[in-house]
């Protein structure tokens, strides 16, 4: 019996516990029903009365040593925090999902890149604008009905949410670093009824080129290049005469989608043609308003509506789905 008790104490001395795993191994080896301590007690039962007297006390002392070693190891582990539930090293970690880019941003980016390849830089400006930059400098006289073309959200008398990114064109022209060849992407606001096809805010990419001797031909060639890159080499386009206060002559450009699919038929109202931009030669009054000599310089400007093009590109039928932040919708673009 003595030898067995000594063995038990020796084993106990050799045991090191530095993790919850090791503590559990210890418990299984020494303290469970079929563990070493109980084995000894079972053997103890078969001893004679004389021997029991002799070894009982020693056996109990050994048992207490085992138990107090177990208790103190457990306390130490808890104090040092090893194996506490908060730092359960084997639990899988929490992963935060990566967000995706917004589909409108993809389209804006693609447009910017095409124009950058054509030599345009990218400029941005404020969404809250004064009357001068949004209207007056662009040849909208006060109380002129042309201002009704763009239903404006006013912040104060002379301050409004910009109705187009042409305001950034004015800012660039006022800076006066000629020639100017830049595109202006951004969000614009108009007080329009919200429906599947229009919203009270939308996105534009406008462009401006000012130099000596710029002609309508340059405008057309730039837009042809853009359309071929963005919509494909064989895309048909047409220009229709139009009116904007800040350009003269003015035009709108359509691309041909056809009417074969139901969605193309609807989108083009049965004509096959979809309007994608307004454009024209910058009105000399606008150049003069921005202190550019209109006898020396001329320029063209255009403004693309991004949202409708994004609807077309991604087959989205209701404009509003772009903006109600439904994760199931947005996730479809996350991997693009
Ligand atoms: N600013 C015009 C609009 O928002 C678009 C446009 C830009 C037209 C430049 C002509 C030239 O409707």
Of 65-79, 147-161, 173-187, give the range with the top mean pLDDT.
173-187
Cα 279 to ligand 1 centre (Å): 6
Mean pLDDT lowest for which of 53-62, 94-103, 121-130, 238-247? 94-103
Q: What does the pLDDT read at residue 285?
A: 97
Cα 278 to ligand 1 centre (Å): 5
Which residues form ligand 1's pocket by a CB distance below 6 Å?
A: 164, 166, 206, 244, 247, 278-280, 301-303
DSSP 130: E
Contacts of 108 (CB under 8 A, 6+ apart): 185, 203, 205, 306
Measured by CA distance, the residue closest to atom 6 of ligand 1 is 303
As a whole-number percent, the residues of the chain with pLDDT over 70 amount to 96
Q: What does the pLDDT read at residue 82?
A: 62
Pick the CATH number of 103-125+164-333 from 3.40.50.2300, 3.10.310.10, 3.30.1540.10, 3.30.930.10: 3.30.930.10
Is the per-residue pLDDT at 84 higher than 60? no
Q: Which of the two residues, 66 and 79, has the higher pLDDT score?
A: 66
Mean pLDDT across the stretch 106-111?
A: 97
What's the pTM? 0.72
> In this structure, what are the phi and psi dihedrals at residue 253, rounded to the nearest 5 degrees?
-115, 135
Picking from 221, 226, 225, 232, the residue whose alpha carbon sits closest to that of residue 205 is 226
Domain ranges, ordered by start, for the chain: 2-82, 103-125+164-333
Q: How confident is the model at residue 19 (pLDDT cuts 50, 70, 90)?
A: confident
Q: What does the pLDDT read at residue 206?
A: 98
Query: For 183, what's the count of Cα atoms within 13 Å in the CB-facing half-sphere?
Result: 27
Is the per-residue pLDDT at 254 higher than 90? yes
Measured by CA distance, the residue closest to atom 5 of ligand 1 is 303
Is the per-residue pLDDT at 125 higher than 90? yes
As a whole-number percent, the residues of the chain with pLDDT over 90 amount to 64
Alpha-carbon distances, residue 329 vs 101, 102, 103, 311 (angstroms) = 12, 10, 10, 13
Per the prediction, the chain carries an average pLDDT of 91
């Amino acid at each position: 019996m003595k030898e067995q008790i000594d063995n038990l104490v020796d084993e106990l001395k050799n045991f090191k516990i530095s993790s919850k795993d090791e503590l559990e191994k210890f418990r299984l080896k020494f303290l469970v029903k079929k563990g070493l301590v109980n084995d000894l007690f079972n053997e103890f039962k078969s001893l004679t009365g004389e021997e029991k007297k002799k070894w009982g006390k020693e056996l109990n002392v050994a048992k207490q040593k085992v138990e107090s070693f177990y208790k103190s190891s457990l306390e130490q582990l808890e104090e040092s925090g090893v194996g506490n539930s908060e730092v359960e090293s084997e639990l899988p970690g929490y992963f935060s999902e990566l967000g995706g880019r917004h589909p409108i941003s993809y389209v804006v980016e693609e447009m910017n890149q095409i124009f950058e390849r054509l030599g345009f830089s990218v400029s941005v400006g404020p969404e809250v604008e004064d009357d001068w930059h949004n209207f007056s400098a662009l040849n909208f006289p006060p109380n002129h009905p042309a201002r009704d073309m763009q239903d404006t959200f006013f912040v104060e008398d002379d301050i409004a949410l910009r109705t187009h990114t042409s305001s950034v064109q004015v800012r660039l022209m006022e800076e006066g670093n000629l020639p100017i060849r830049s595109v202006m992407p951004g969000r614009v606001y108009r007080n329009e009824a919200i429906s599947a096809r229009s919203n009270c805010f939308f996105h534009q990419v406008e462009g401006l080129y000012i130099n000596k001797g710029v002609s309508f031909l340059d405008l057309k060639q730039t837009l042809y290049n853009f359309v071929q890159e963005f919509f494909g080499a064989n895309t048909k386009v047409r220009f229709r005469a139009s009116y904007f206060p800040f350009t003269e002559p003015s035009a709108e450009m359509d691309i041909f989608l056809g009417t074969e699919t139901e969605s193309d038929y609807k989108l083009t109202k049965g004509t096959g043609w979809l309007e994608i931009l307004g454009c024209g030669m910058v009105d000399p009054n606008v150049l003069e308003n921005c202190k550019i000599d209109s006898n020396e310089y001329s320029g063209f400007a255009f403004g693309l509506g991004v949202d409708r093009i994004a609807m077309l590109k991604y087959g989205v039928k209701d404009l509003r789905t772009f903006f109600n932040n439904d994760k199931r919708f947005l996730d479809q673009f996350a991997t693009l």
